[in-house]
């Protein structure tokens, strides 16, 4: 299981980037969150932090 970003509702606020303890999330050139699945700890911190519910753990 890893974090998945719904790019259609991600606003690029960066909250998930700040909250990810593994540093597995970054913003791409379009300010959409991108998860490095090889670094994701499946902890759910990003899912809990996202104000737009754009991240789910799947």
CB atoms within 10 A of CB 31: 11
pLDDT at 11: 98
Q: Are 50 and 35 in contact (CB under 8 A)?
A: no
What architecture is the 3-57 domain classified under in CATH?
A: 2-Layer Sandwich (3.30)
pLDDT tens-digit profile, the chain (58 residues): 999 999 999 999 999 999 999 999 999 999 999 999 999 999 999 999 999 999 999 9
Q: Model-level pTM? A: 0.93
Mapping DSSP onto H, E and C, the string for 4-57 reads EECCCCCCCCCHHHHHCCCCCEEECCCCCEEECCCCCCCCCHHHHHCCCCCEEE
């Amino acid at each position: 299981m890893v974090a998945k970003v719904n790019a259609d509702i991600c606003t690029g606020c960066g909250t998930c980037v700040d909250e990810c303890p593994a540093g597995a999330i970054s913003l791409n050139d379009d300010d959409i969150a991108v998860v490095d699945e090889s670094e994701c700890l499946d902890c759910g911190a990003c899912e809990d932090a996202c104000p737009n519910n754009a991240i789910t753990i799947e």
